[in-house]
Every structure is written in structure tokens, then in C-alpha cells.
Amino acid sequence: MLPSHDWPTLDAGWVWLCGAGPGDPGLLTLHALNALRQAEVIVYDALVHEGILDWAPQAERIYAGKRGGKPSHNQRDISLRLVDLARAGRRVLRLKGGDPFVFGRGGEEAQTLVQHGIPIRIVPGITAGIAGLAYAGIPVTHRDVNQSVTFVTGHDRAGLAPTALDWAGIARGSQVIVMYMGMKHIGEISARLIAAGRDPAEPVAVTTTATLDDQRTIETNLKNVAQDIENAGLEPPAIICIGMAVALRQALDWQAHARGEAPRDLDPLGLRRPAETG
């Protein structure tokens, strides 16, 4: 049951582009739940946890994801499919992992829908680059560490390490770097960051299937990250965090604490902050 509130209606002929969060169904928004309740057809991606679809037993399910890293549906086909479904008068829910406008091509789908005169609603979601780190015990900002954070993709349109990015600029200007889709090219990217002056010993965390039961995190450093990913046998999807924020995990790995493990270091930044000063 949704709390009493004037919840929007998903009308016939509309498409709602909705974020499903990073995995854990508890990280859906109430707007997403409201959408799931009303949808007649759900077009969903690989990163949308199947358990979430079970909350919409009435809805037809259309899979629009990738399998084995290969695009099995091209983006234009997916967008036009949404147009067709809306024109057929369906109540369409386009469900995407995380937030639909964060590295998820939601903007492109929304553009196509608008160009075809289809009315849309955007339902933001909790993005993996923030929540995945939080579930690993890494605050994406912390006053003692960073006043900015840079979200990057490790993958461009052609499937290469993004050449349009000014890696030297990022190395210089980014206090904490949070990378989506970085697994394939992390060796090349870490080498570029080091070549541009980043400390090879800088802490790095790699978290896979974040927020789900099989979440795994390794802590490493910029120099060794690619090798350590391989040694640990980690597979995508993964969020890679580069920066001192990673050190805070020694104190804040709350999932380890829940399993009975003690914090490794209560003051990993060496600040000896008194218990609390506003």
C-alpha cells in the first residue's frame, strides 16, 4: 500500500521512464512503485532486478537489455518500440537500472518519445554510483576528503575507453572519481591517470552487483586495480571508485559490521576527530 498522497496516474498512451535503482528492491522510489502498480507493459533492461518485476504481476514484460555484453536490441529499435506501444494506447513503463538519466540512454529515449509527440514522465532513480558505494561503506562526499565528485563512464559509444574525455584534466581536477562501465578498460584508464600525475598508491574500490546479496568489493590501488580485478575474478556490473573516500570504508563497512566484524580502523584518515563537533 502506498502512503496517502496524490499519486500520478499512468494514463493510456503515456510512457513513464523510470529508474529502478541499483538492484535491491528496497531502493525503488515510491513513484516507481506507483508506476509498477499501473503499468500494462514494462520494457526493462538487463540491470533491472527480476524481483522488481514481480511487483507488477498484471504487466506484460518486454526485455530490452543486452546479453553477454553484446547489444541484442539496438537503441533506436527500443525507442521506436516505446513509441509504438504508446500509440497503441498502452500504459507503458520503461524501467531502467539506477537512474534513467545517468549513463543509461534515458535522455535519448526521452528525446525520441518527445519527437514523436508521446507524453512522458521521468521518474528518477537511485544511481549505482552513489548507492553502490554507500552499500560498500564509502561516502561519495565527506568534508575531510572531497568537495566535488566526478562521474565518468569507462566506455564510449564505440566500446572504447572514452577518447573524448580529458583524462589529464580529470586526473588534475577530480578529488574522487566514480566510474561506471569501467571494467573493460580500467587498465588503460588507470595508466592514463597515473601518467597525468595521479598517485599510483591512491586507494581504489571496485564493487560488483552492488546492493544485491552477492555484492562484492575489493580494495586496491590505482597501480594494481586491473590486475586485482582479474585476480579476484570480478565481473561487471561494477562501480569503481578512485580516491581517498575509499579509505573511509575501513571504518564504515557497515555490512561487515552487521556480520560481526569489527571496524578495521576507526580513523582511517588519521584525523582523530573528537566524537562529534558539528
Active site residue 66: yes
Give the shortest CB-227-to-ligand SAH separation in angstroms: 19
Residue with nearest beta carbon to ligand SAH: 98
Site string for ligand SAH, 45-84 (x = CB under 6 A): --x-------------------------------------
The residue length of the chain stands at 278
Interaction between residue 103 and ligand SAH (CB under 6 A): yes
Catalytic residue among 96, 99, 179, 181: 181
What does the alpha-carbon distance between residue 45 and residue 61 come to, in Å, rounded to a whole number? 11
Of the ranges 69-77, 93-101, 144-152, 244-252, which one interacts with ligand SAH (CB under 6 A)? 93-101
Q: Where are the alpha helices (DSSP H) in 39-105?
A: 50-53, 75-87
**Nearer to ligand SAH by C-beta: 236 or 268?**
236
Q: x/- string (CB under 6 A) for ligand SAH, residues 218-257?
A: ------------------xxxx------------------
CB of 210 to ligand SAH, least distance (A): 3
Q: Is 96 a catalytic residue?
A: no
In this structure, the strands spanning 120-123 and 60-63 are unpaired
On whether the CB atoms of residues 31 and 123 are closer than 8 A, the answer is yes
- Catalytic, 45? Answer yes
The CB density around residue 67, as the number of other CB atoms within 10 Å, is 10
- 181 counts as binding ligand SAH under rule CB under 6 A: yes
Q: Which of 195, 217, 213, 191 is closest to 205 using CA atoms?
A: 217
Shortest approach of ligand SAH to residue 108 CB, angstroms?
A: 12
Residue in the block written with cell 575474478: 233
Angle made by CA atoms 158, 164, 165, in degrees to the nearest 5: 120
- Among the listed residues 66, 77, 265, 267, the single catalytic one is 66
* 135 forms part of the interface with ligand SAH (CB under 6 A): no
Amino acid at 146: N
133, 142 contact by CB (below 8 A): no
Amino acid code (one letter) for 199? D
CA dihedral of 191, 193, 196, 200, whole degrees rounded to 10: -70
Give the residues lining the site for ligand SAH (CB under 6 A). Answer: 22-23, 47, 96-99, 102-104, 127-128, 132, 180-181, 207-211, 236-239
Residues annotated as catalytic (active site), given as ranges: 45, 66, 181
